[in-house]
Structure 1
Amino acid sequence: MRRVLAVGAHPDDIELGCGATLLAHSAAGDAVTMLVMTGGENGPGDDATITGRRLEQEQAARTLGARLLWGGQVDCTVTPDAATVAVVERAIEETDADIVYVHAPDDSHQDHRAVAAATLSAARRLSRVMHYQSPSTLTFSPTTFVDVTAYLSGKLAALGAHASQVEMSAMVEPDAVVASARHWGAQARIGYAEAFAPTRLVIDLMPTPRRAAEEVPETLRLTLSASLAANTR
């Protein structure tokens, strides 16, 4: 079982970037957590709209089968300082995450850049750090693709929970989301895909450490043990 942490600057960022992939993780039995750093406080609308965005995010997380954490930052003021790094570090520690998804670093939105930088620092000891694309991403050259053909409708449902944003932005319109997934699917030679640019991506060829140990021939195991013992003298 994977322990997945997806980090986003604002409500709906994660769903746009990797919502279908999170659904695939949930379907596989992985533990999925979303860390949303701000509540979109400085976006369009009044106080009721801001409160509504939090409720929308909670509904979207339920749709994805994910636990939701809030970062307590303020929209449009996020900086990649020690305090922001500490927020992500606490989430990594609390969830014991072994894979992290976050914004691509080259982005025209300052919050996205800051969250990406802070997460890279916080996840410096992890072996799987994946960057997703946002509508405001400037350069993005993905090399890793997830087949989300079976999960695209679920992603659309999660984005549909963000009703206030659907009304204001073409970025979350179903046609645009489907077109993006089809584009990346064509790149990956599959139906529909979400795309990622990994900072690090370790691929497990053995399912578990126990099975890996069991499949090592006895003669090789003895040789390895002798070699390790010799190297510690």
Structure 2
Amino acid sequence: MNKVLVIAVHPDDETLGCGGTLLKHKAALDEIHWLICTSIDKNHSYYNTRTSEIEHVFNAYSFDSIYNLQLTTMQVDKYYMSDLIDNISKVINEVKPNIIYLPFKGDVHSDHRRIFEAAYSCTKSFRYPFIKKIYMMETLSETEFALSTKEDSFIPNVFVDITDYMEKKIEIMKIFESEMAQHPFPRSEENLRALATFRGATCGCQYAESFLLLKEIK
């Protein structure tokens, strides 16, 4: 049995980036754990709705645990890197995952890049020997807008067949009502299907999610 931790900078990143893969892990009786890094202000008119959405998504996946760092969304740059590393490290040491899914290092959103840097610092094998696989995931509306240079482009090398889980992924994504809109908005149902279709065609299945493997220890 695997213990999986997905680090979602914002709630919905886990579904966009690896929702089908998480469902597949769960079907294989793996543990799945959810770390949300940011939150909107409690005085925001959408706060209660977002809290309810997170609860519904937690139940939809049957996550084994949830953590929330409660960082101010779109302002992760204001936190000291040492504090980010410390907070993420505490979660990793509590969960002790052998598989971690991280945001892509080149995502256009500065929150994503900052969290990637902090989280990857928490994967050193001599400090976290239980971590055996580290992936970066592809998050619609962030990853495709990365710089089009070879250093910053998302070039996947791992593909997961999510054909049996695509409809459930779409269903869960729709829980985040404010995060989806009609095509050509990046987070439209049409675009989610288009990306999964494209990745599926790359690996010979109907729908797939793709990842960039950073490290594997056997």
Match of 2:212 in 1: 197
> 1: distance between equivalents of 2:52 and 2:67?
13
In 2: Cα distance, 1:202 partner to 1:184 partner = 25
- Give the structure with the larger helix fraction: 1
Aligned to 1:11, the other structure's residue is in SS state: coil
Residue of structure 2 equivalent to 1:164: 178
1:129 to 125, 130, 134: 134
User: Displacement of 1:41 after TM fit?
Assistant: 4.2
State the shift of 1:158 in Å. 1.2
Unaligned regions of 5+ residues in structure 1, if any?
Answer: 204-233
Q: Does 1:63 align with 2:69?
A: no
Q: Is the 8 A contact 2:181 2:187 kept in 1?
A: no
1:11/1:54 contact within 8 Å kept:
no
Distance 2:172 2:66 in 1: 13
Please say if residues 88 and 119 of structure 2, whose CA atoms lie closer than 8 Å, have aligned partners that are also in contact.
Answer: yes
Deviation at 1:171, TM superposition (A): 2.9
Shift of 1:7: 0.2
Q: Structure 2: state its 5+ residue gaps.
A: 126-130, 147-152
Residue of structure 2 equivalent to 1:182: 197
Identity, in percent, stands at 26
Whether the aligned pair in 2 keeps the contact of 1:100 and 1:130 (CA below 8 Å) is yes
Give the Cα separation in 2 of the matches to 1:58 and 1:86.
26
Q: Which amino acid in 1 is paired with 2:8?
A: G
Which deviations, in whole Å up to 9, do the C-alpha atoms of 1:13-35 show, x marking residues without a partner? 11100011000011111110110
Equivalent residues of 1:11, 1:40 under 8 A apart: no
What is the match of residue 104 of structure 1? 104
Tell me the amino acid that sits aligned with residue 177 of structure 2.
Answer: A
Post-superposition offset of 1:167 = 4.7
- Return the offset for 1:81: 0.4
Which residue type is aligned with residue 164 of structure 1?
S
What is the TM-score normalised by the length of structure 2? Answer: 0.85
Are the structure 2 counterparts of residues 59 and 130 from structure 1 closer, same or farther at C-alpha, using a change threshold of 3 Å?
same
Aligned positions of 1:1-233 closer than 5 A? 1-41=1-41, 47-66=44-63, 67-79=65-77, 81-125=81-125, 126-134=131-139, 135-137=141-143, 138=146, 139-167=153-181, 170-202=185-217
Counterpart of 2:67, as a letter, is L
1:81 and 1:167 map into 2 onto residues whose CA distance is 34
**How many corresponding residue pairs?**
200
| TM-fit CA distance, 1:74 | 0.9
CA RMSD of aligned residues (A): 1.9
Q: How far did residue 188 of structure 1 move?
A: 1.3
Q: Which moved more, 1:181-190 or 1:72-81?
A: 72-81
TM-score w.r.t. structure 1 length? Answer: 0.80
For the residues of structure 2 that align with 1:108 and 1:20, how far apart are their CA atoms?
A: 23
Match of 1:227 in 2: none
